[in-house]
Structure 1
Amino acid sequence: MNRISFQWRITLMTAVLIAGACICLNLLLYHSGATGMDNLNGYVLQYQQNDDENLMIEIPDDQMSDFLIQFSQEVYDAKAVFGRKGWCITAAVTLLSAAIAYFVSGKALEPLKKLAQQAERIDQDSLVEVRLEENTIPEFRDLSQSVNHMLDRLAHSFDLQRQFAGNAAHELKTPLAIMQAKLEMFAEEHPDTDSEITDLLRFQTDQVSRLASLVRTLLEMSDLQSIPREDHIELAPLADEIVADLTPLAQRRSITLFQECEDVSIKGSDTLIYRLLFNLVENGIKYNTPGGSVHITIRQKESSAVLRVADTGCGIPEEYRTSVFQPFFRVDKSRSREMGGVGLGLALVREIALLHGGTVTAEPADGHGTVFTVTLPIQA
């Protein structure tokens, strides 16, 4: 029953109600008609003519028996025809009423369908912008108002969460910087320490550096909304700059960088778009195979700029291609820790794309590897 739509439930219940009413009405009419015909049959059989002045129909005695039998048969046939017509009318009225009920209920449920379409556009990043229409029928108006109030509370909760993350990251930044400086100074002042202490210092320095990187990324993610997005950005020179910055890392890992960039310009934050493309290319280098390649492609498609970063790495399983954009998610945790990642690079890419009115997706590359596609409007 749960698989049946609400419209079909209303239709079926209405059809059952109409069918029950028609059946009861038909039985009552049939009983009344049949009783009347039986009374007529009995009246003819028991009729005696006493008034000579009235019209008389004389039936010979030898034909009276046949007349009575034929009249009784006619009455029986008339009742049978009356019953069949009644059931046919019941079925027709039920079907017609059910069809009318289906379309009428569909018309009545249109506000609910509109509410469902509006609710589908709601996610974590559109809690403030998207609101359900409250100018509707009373039954759905209360529902819309309740959902809108819930969205306001959720948006407030997410704002508090972002503020907490930003404040916590800001408070952690200074002590981590002091710890990192102290460890580096200790290592420089005591170059002749034994191997165990050297390994411990290296381990502590790496972990503090990793925590510092995590704190910087959290600060960036919590402060994205306040960054102005009014820059005129030439994407091709931006890609050239990123390739130049990442060439040393690519050379150390024997990765070849290719780029095919059209002259496309967008409006937004130059700093954020640089970070978006930088993170995608850096991931393509880090999670690639030795001797592999990373292809950067920038094209204009209608009123959007399409940025594609394709690598020749091991690829991302289909069930993880959406989850990789969630904070702290890792497909291969052991390899991510080996690469020094904190699990926020792709989450930051997604936040930047959404902030500029765009989207980002992960798809399998031809052969092997992964293709990240970012679509950004030309005019944000």
Structure 2
Amino acid sequence: MNKLTLRFRLTLLTGCILVAITILLTLISIHNVDNKFVQPNITGKMLNRESVEQIQPFNTEIIDKDSIKGLAVSVEVKEAQKQFNVQSIMWMIAIIVVGIGATYILVGKALKPVSDLSKSVKSIGEHSLSQRIENINTEDEIGDLAISFNKMLDRLEKSFMYRKSFAANAAHELKTPLTIIKSGIQVLKLDPSPTIEDYKENVDITELSTQRLIQVVDDLLALASEEAEELFHDIELKDVFEAIIDELKPLCMEKNTNIHVDICNEKIRGNPTLLYRVFFNLIENAVKFNDTHGTVTVGTSVHDDVLTITISDTGMGIPKKALSMIFEPFYRVDKSRTRQLGGSGLGLSIVKTIVEKHKGTISVNSILHVGTTFEVNLPRK
């Protein structure tokens, strides 16, 4: 049964219903004709053929004209009943055959959009994800299915583009330090008598490049990790930000940047290590990409059961067209400046992943040459 086409199965099901109804109606009509057809009354009593045959040899004179006439009418009635039964059965067969044929044709027309949808789906592959189903114009379940499939294609195309971009960017980030290391080695090999200073310089460059490789790999592992963090504790926000500020003091002194903290006495439940990384990355970026003698402001507010942490800077800002992409892996607003300041390009992606693991949200607002504000919303419990 499962090997039959949908068209044939629907036709078979409808045909069974049609056959059952037709046979039932035919039997009812035959039963009514056989049992409820009015027979003519004969004077004295009704005589049938058997009665006539029994009486005729003994005394045919007792059968009057009315009895003979009634007998003839009775025979005609039975013949009519027999013809009606035969014609009813023939009409029943004809109706069944025509009905099943018409059902097969109509079901085929009704399922034509499904066939068109199937052909369109088969024509879409990995290299044609931009193609959409456009020849389905019905406003029924099939039309809804086509719309849903197009939406799924949108998500798939976005996912494939993201994967390709991610792979290309990851390869680029890994290739750059490897190229630097290789170039340093080749320079040493070309020099017939390299000095100790040359070796020291090459070792320093190799160490920096190796450290960058380690950072990229660590960040990739952190970004790809899907493990559920069960080590949630109550965290004092003040302690977290005090530790971050102490750690960033050298960078603040280098940039002549001031950090103002206005934290309410609130606790938040989460993984201390992961949340520390979130706020450290955001404050570090606010200091790195700030103007000299700039300011970083950290504030909190509580709305119902949601704790909002805002981190603002007075830096160069982010272009409006880039705001929707800064959380994508390896995306850089200013590539040359970002690499000069260090980082793997995965920091904000990791921040967003950690925040979402804590059932929170993160958003950003920025004005060019004015500053940027990140807002993190986390549930208090």
TM-score, normalised relative to structure 1: 0.50
For 1:310 and 1:142, locate their aligned partners in 2 and report how far apart those are by CA, in whole Å.
46
SS at match of 1:325: coil
Question: Is 1:291 aligned to 2:293, yes or no?
Answer: yes
1:364 partnered with 2:342: no
Aligned to 1:211: 213
> Is 1:261 aligned with 2:270?
no
Amino acid at match of 1:364: S
Confirm whether residue 227 of structure 1 aligns to residue 229 of structure 2.
yes
Conservation of the 8 A alpha-carbon contact between 1:235 and 1:263:
yes
Deviations 1:294-317 (A, max 9, x none): 111122122211111111211111
Cα distance between partner residues in 1 of 2:231 and 2:148: 33
Aligned equivalents of 1:365, 1:157: Cα separation in 2 = 32
Structure 2 residue 260 is matched with structure 1 residue 278:
no
Q: In the alignment, which of 305, 329, 336 is matched to residue 303 of structure 1?
A: 305
Provide closer, same or farther for how the CA distance between residues 225 and 148 of structure 1 changes in structure 2, counting only shifts above 3 A.
farther
1:264·1:299 contact (CA, 8 Å) conserved in 2? no
The CA deviation at 1:262 is 0.7
TM-superposed deviation, 1:224: 4.6
User: Where do 1:323-334 residues align within 5 Å?
Assistant: 323-334=325-336
State the percentage of identical aligned residues.
Answer: 31
Return closer, same or farther for 1:205/1:353 CA change in 2, 3 Å cut-off.
Answer: same
For residues 188-217 of structure 1, give each alpha carbon's deviation from its aligned partner in whole angstroms, at most 9, with x where no partner exists: xxxx94443333222221111111011111
Shift of 1:365: 5.8
* Alpha-carbon distance between aligned partners in 1 of 2:146 and 2:237, rounded to the nearest angstrom: 45
Q: Provide, for residues 251-270 of structure 1, a one-character-per-residue CA deviation record: whole Å limited to 9, x for no partner.
A: 23221111000122222222
1:351 alignment partner, SS class: helix
Among candidates 314, 317, 334, match of residue 315 of structure 1: 317
In structure 2, what is the Cα distance between the partners aligned to 1:195 and 1:291? 37
Partner Cα separation in structure 2 for residue 141 and residue 340 of structure 1: 49
Please give the root-mean-square deviation of Cα atoms over the aligned residues, in Å.
Answer: 3.8
Cα distance between partner residues in 2 of 1:217 and 1:369: 27
Change (3 A) 1:252 1:145: closer
1:337 matched residue in structure 2: 339
Matched residue type, 1:230 = F
Q: Which amino acid aligns with 1:293?
A: T
Whether the 8 Å contact between 2:318 and 2:367 is mirrored in structure 1 is no
Equivalent position of 1:200 in the other structure: 202
Report the residue type matching 1:288 in the other structure.
N
What CA deviation, in whole Å up to 9, does each residue of 1:67-87 have, x standing for no partner?
Answer: xxxxxxxxxxxxxxxxxxxxx
The 1:140/1:355 distance shift into structure 2, 3 A limit, reads: farther
* Structure-to-structure mapping, 1:152-231, within 5 angstroms: 193-228=195-230, 230-231=232-233
Q: CA deviation at 1:322?
A: 1.7
3-state SS of paired residue (2:285): helix
Change in CA separation of 1:339 and 1:366 when aligned onto 2, cut-off 3 Å: closer
Q: Any idea what SS the aligned residue of 1:331 has?
A: coil
Q: 1:139 to 1:265 in 2, by over 3 A?
A: farther
2:356 corresponds to: 354
Letter in 2 for 1:264: E
**Map 1:100-111 → 2, pairs under 5 A:** none
Distance 1:209 1:371 in 2: 30
2:324 partner letter:
T
Letter of the 2:294 counterpart = G
Secondary structure of the residue aligned to 1:258 is: strand
The higher radius of gyration belongs to 2
SS at match of 2:359: coil
Gaps of 5+ in 2: 1-139, 186-193
Q: CA deviation at 1:335?
A: 0.9
